[in-house]
Amino acid sequence: MRIVCSLILWLFCATAVTAEKVCLIKIDGAIGPATASYISRSIDEARTQNAQCLVIQLNTPGGLLDSTQIIVQSFLGSTVPVVVYVSPTGATATSAGCFITVAASVAAMAPATTIGAAHPVTIGGIPSGGEEKTNDTMKQKLENFSVSYIEAIAGRRQRNVEWAKSAVKESASISAEKALQLKVVDLIAADLPDLLKQLNGRTVDGKTLKTAGAKVAEIKMSPSERVFQKLWRPEVMFVLMLIAIYGIIGELTTPGAILPGVVGAIALVLALYLAAILPVNVTGLALIALALMLFIFDVYAPTHGVLTVGGVISFLIGSLMLFNRADPLFRLSLNYIIPATLITAAFFVFVIGKGLRAQLMPMKAGAETMIGKTVAALTPIDLRGGRIFIEGEYWNAVSDTPIEKDQAVEIAAVQGLTLKVKAKGK
């Protein structure tokens, strides 16, 4: 009996030691720098763990071309087979997701999922005049690059090159079943266990996969990757830009407050970082800057609100043009734009406007406020001096003409700690 128990224990331990491992990550959302970093790190970690493969469960509406290129390069240079699994049911791999799926060592899809619509969308304002030709040229260059890029990827992975080109040129989009039929993907799996079952025994990049019954180890996003994944959105950049405007201008109009300036500076740095990543339209930024100037000018100029109205219009148009509304991925919702326009106009009219007007008002405290006031002389006053009492204090006083005691005098100037006075009415 003891021998049987020992044999069972040995078999259990041997099975546990030799159990194969599959690494899993989940991408649900837009493709950006944080996603590229996450995938590259996961490939390295899968190699370190000697995993059979890395499965990427993908559901994305698209993303940035630069980040997509980094991901594709990491796929093609990986020694660990990378399996992209478009899942769950109803998921999509459009735009950047199409490039990523085609570049995988094994491309799989769940039933009722879609892939395609990989035509590049350029970000910019409405062209006019000579700019239209330049804009069209840039669009054509980007489209030609995207076509050749996905053609090279599909050829490398021996997938349907003609359909891949049509996904870019014509924004073609197909279902999982059609993708399998056209050899765009390699298999359809109902769920992850079904995927691992179908992968078992498949030879990928010279390696025969052993995934049946393999242990699935999910690799999570790091805290920094999660933060930047949430940050790189048009709405976040827009809000940060507003905080930077309110904070910095608030600090300039109320020197010494410190907190608004610090918060505004931090928001400005983050907004500039996102502006370097997100495709921002310079014309939109220029219109927003013009709106801020119009708000400030209206404080000084008696235009009866004309400049403020112009500022509201400029800010609204600039916000609409800040990102390309034709691309759902970078579309800034009116739910953000309209409240932001009203709040910004109110901020400048009621907060900044009152602050600047207060700085322009005559002083109501200090020695200068005594000029023009009338008091009685306590002693005779001439060029050699005398004394008066005003605002609870005794002051030395001088006068070009002799003034008698108790005579009413008017304060003409403040000269250090001495007041220059003159007889009332002179």
Dihedral sign (CA 196, 41, 268, 316): negative
Dihedral sign (CA 325, 326, 327, 328): positive
Reported as a pLDDT band with limits 50, 70 and 90, residue 220 is very high
pTM of the model: 0.68
From CA 256, how far away is CA 258, in angstroms rounded? 5
Bigger pLDDT: 300 vs 41: 41
The pLDDT value recorded for residue 82 is 96
Q: Which residues contact 180 (CB under 8 A, 6 or more apart)?
A: 109, 186, 187, 188
Domains of the chain: 13-226 (3.90.226.10), 245-360 (no CATH), 367-423 (2.40.50.140)
Nearest to 78 by CA among 108, 106, 40, 50: 40
In one-letter notation, the amino acid at residue 274 is L
Q: Which residues contact 358 (CB under 8 A, 6 or more apart)?
A: none
Q: What is the pLDDT of residues 151-193, one digit of tens each?
A: 999 999 999 999 999 999 888 999 999 999 999 999 999 999 9
Q: What is the pLDDT of residues 97-151, one digit of tens each?
A: 999 999 999 999 999 999 998 877 644 333 334 444 555 677 778 888 889 999 9
From CA 161, how far away is CA 95, in angstroms rounded? 16
Calculated CA dihedral for residues 292, 297, 303, 305, nearest 10 degrees = 30
For residue 128, with 0-12 CB atoms within 10 Å meaning exposed, 13-18 middle and 19 or more buried, which class applies?
exposed
Q: Where are the alpha helices (DSSP H) in 81-160?
A: 96-103, 130-156
How many Cα atoms are found within 13 Å in the side-chain-facing hemisphere of 181?
5
The pLDDT value recorded for residue 327 is 61
In one-letter notation, the amino acid at residue 359 is Q
Lowest mean pLDDT among 59-68, 276-285, 345-354: 345-354
From CA 187, how far away is CA 180, in angstroms rounded? 6
Q: Per mean pLDDT, which of 86-95, 336-345, 375-384, 412-421 is the most reliable? A: 86-95
Asked if 118 and 143 touch (Cβ cutoff 8 Å), the reply is no
From CA 345, how far away is CA 65, in angstroms rounded? 36
Six token digits for residue 114:
């879609």
Percent of the chain with pLDDT over 70: 82
